[in-house]
Amino acid sequence: MESLEQLRVGWIGLGSMGLAMATNIQKHIQQHPDAYPPLKYWNRTLSRGKPLEELGATACATVADLVQTCNVIFISVSDDTALITLAAIIQSSGPLSQKVIIDTTTVHPSTTTTISTSFAQKNASYISAPVFGATPVAIAGQLLVAVAGPPQAITRVTPLLKGVLARRVLHVGDEASQAMLLKTTSNFITAGLMTLLSEAHVLAESSGLPSSTLESLIEENFGAYALGVSRRLTSGSYLPAVGQAPASGLELGIKDVGHGVAIARERGVELKIGEMYLEAAEGARGYAEERGRRADSSAVYGVLRQRARLGFESEVVRRRDGVEEEGKELEDALRK
């Protein structure tokens, strides 16, 4: 087995989360120039990697170029289809013996099992490493990472995870799908919390209770995580300004919770809260698409507001987007 000093790291996939994580990897490499060569990266749109290039990372023209020159390869893509396609490309890019594949993508556990098996047949080590936290947490290097796969491979790459991408690494076991099952369960919990807190804020607003008062209770009685979710609602982040990216996209929320609901159905279990989230999330997706906007996974709040006749967009959102000012200008014009 090669020593840590011999690791040659590559990164495939530079979405919001992928770019944030890859940036932290390259910053770590910069701090240890004798231990690692610069990070190599590939993305379908290579220009996404410009911030990495400015930090000293090297772009690869093709996936094959990256695979042939790296022995530790991180993956961060959007969904099962993208991962299956990419895995096939990697496996056709040359010998994979002794290489370590670290996959941060959230997919169905059965997809993880299939891909893990296919890499094992190529004598490569596949680690399922889903991450917990939205883009701002990834930028700060404070994600939680769950890892499952060959123990020796996990030991080999842990220095690239703990204190670099993540505040903590959870070891789930040898079977890659177990990490993904944990991630799927976590997504269900988060979706349920989003739904519950959305209802709580709707109740408060409908009853005349200030949202700041409710949020103080949430902070003191339910902790930092619940507070973070609540602030995505009260700050207006559930519906970002036009042209702005969400902290965690609604499409990903629908996909991730959908995996949990599908797994439950396969086992004859009913997840009513998950189904409630999906129903509201589909409504939020329709609202955003009609207006050419991107919504956060917490946009179920807008749908629950609509059902309570409060309007999808909160006063904070309307004020931020200038809707109220436009309305006042129109009223003034009509009075003249």
Per residue in 215-260, pLDDT tens? Answer: 999 999 999 999 999 999 999 999 999 989 898 999 999 999 999 9
Q: Are 42 and 66 in contact (CB under 8 A)?
A: yes
Question: What pLDDT score was predicted for residue 124?
Answer: 98
**Tokens 């698409």 identify what position?**
289
pLDDT at residue 5 tops 80: no
* β pairing state of 131-132 and 125-128: unpaired
Task: Tell me, yes or no, if 183 is annotated catalytic.
Answer: yes
Catalytic residue among 40, 99, 183, 255: 183
What domains lie within the chain, and their CATH numbers? Answer: 4-174 (3.40.50.720), 182-328 (1.10.1040.10)
Please tell me the distance from the alpha carbon of residue 277 to that of residue 256, in angstroms, as a whole number: 11
* pLDDT classification of 336: cutoffs 50, 70, 90: very low
Angle 250-266/176-207 helices, nearest 10 degrees?
120
Residue 258: partners with Cβ closer than 8 Å, 6 or more residues away: 278
pLDDT at residue 182 tops 90: yes
Please tell me the distance from the alpha carbon of residue 250 to that of residue 189, in angstroms, as a whole number: 16
Please tell me the distance from the alpha carbon of residue 188 to that of residue 332, in angstroms, as a whole number: 47
Report, as an integer, the average pLDDT of 273-284.
97
Please tell me the distance from the alpha carbon of residue 57 to that of residue 63, in angstroms, as a whole number: 15
pLDDT at residue 175 tops 50: yes
* Number of residues assigned to the chain: 336
* pLDDT classification of 333: cutoffs 50, 70, 90: very low
- Measured from the Cβ of residue 241, the count of other Cβ atoms closer than 10 Å reads 13
pLDDT at residue 2 tops 90: no
Give pLDDT tens digits for 279-326. 999 999 999 999 999 999 999 999 999 999 999 999 999 999 997 544
* pLDDT classification of 330: cutoffs 50, 70, 90: very low
pLDDT at residue 274 tops 70: yes
Question: What pLDDT score was predicted for residue 324?
Answer: 53
Average pLDDT, the chain: 94
* β pairing state of 72-75 and 100-103: parallel
pLDDT at residue 331 tops 50: no
Quote the percentage of the chain above a pLDDT of 70. 95
Question: What pLDDT score was predicted for residue 323?
Answer: 76
φ/ψ (deg, to 5) at 161: -105, -65
Exposed e or buried b per residue across 85-112, where buried means at least 16 C-beta atoms within 10 angstroms of its C-beta: ebbeebbebeebeebbbbbbbbbbbebb
91's torsion region: left (phi>0), alpha (psi -120 to 50) or beta?
alpha
Question: What pLDDT score was predicted for residue 334?
Answer: 42
Residue 303 CA: distances (Å) to CA of 78, 180, 229: 25, 29, 16
Report, as an integer, the average pLDDT of 50-79.
98
Report, as an integer, the average pLDDT of 100-115.
97
**Residue in 310, 80, 88, 76 with CA at minimum distance from that of residue 205:** 310
